[in-house]
C-alpha cells in the first residue's frame, strides 16, 4: 500500500513555490482578485474541482497517482497544474494574463458555466 505522505520525489521548485505562496496567502489575508476578474476566477476553481472530485473530497491530490499537495492551494494557484502523474486533468495558466488564457482555453474546449445572478 502506498503512503499518503508527500515524498521527496514529489517536491519540485514550482510546487514548493506554490505551496509556500498558498501558506502566505492563508496567513496574510487570502487572494486578492480584481472585481472584474471574480467570475473567471470562480470558473477556474469550479472547473478544477469538478475535474478532480476525489481529490477535493480527500482535501489533497490523491496518492499514489497524485502528488499529495493540498487541493485548496493547488487549485487556486493559476501557475499550478493537476498533480496526477499520468493523465493530468487540468493545466497551469500563466500567472500574468491568466484571465485571457482561461477564456481562450474555455472557449476552445467548449466549457460553459451557466451563471445565475440574484439580489
pLDDT at residue 81 in the model: 81
- ∠ CA(106), CA(88), CA(71), 5° rounding? 85
pLDDT at residue 100 in the model: 95
Q: What is the mean pLDDT of each run of 10 residues along the chain (119 residues)?
A: 59 67 64 80 91 89 78 82 79 89 94 77
pLDDT at residue 1 in the model: 42
Total count of domains within the chain: 1
Residue with cell 499550478: 80
> Domain limits at 76?
8-109
pLDDT at residue 106 in the model: 93
Please count the other Cβ atoms lying within 10 Å of the Cβ belonging to residue 76.
18
76 Cβ contact partners less than 8 Å away, ≥ 6 residues apart = 22, 31, 45
pTM over 0.75, yes/no? no
pLDDT at residue 69 in the model: 79
Amino acid at each position: 500500500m502506498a503512503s499518503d505522505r508527500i515524498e521527496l520525489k514529489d517536491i519540485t521548485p514550482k510546487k514548493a513555490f506554490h505551496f509556500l505562496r498558498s501558506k502566505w496567502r492563508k496567513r496574510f489575508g487570502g487572494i486578492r482578485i480584481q472585481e472584474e476578474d471574480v467570475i473567471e476566477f470562480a470558473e477556474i476553481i469550479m472547473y478544477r474541482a469538478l475535474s478532480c472530485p476525489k481529490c477535493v473530497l480527500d482535501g489533497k491530490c490523491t496518492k499514489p497517482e497524485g502528488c499529495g499537495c493540498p487541493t485548496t492551494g493547488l487549485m487556486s494557484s493559476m501557475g499550478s497544474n493537476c498533480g496526477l502523474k499520468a493523465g493530468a486533468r487540468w493545466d497551469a495558466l500563466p500567472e500574468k494574463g491568466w484571465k485571457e488564457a482561461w477564456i481562450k482555453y474555455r472557449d476552445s474546449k467548449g466549457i460553459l458555466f451557466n451563471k445565475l445572478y440574484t439580489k
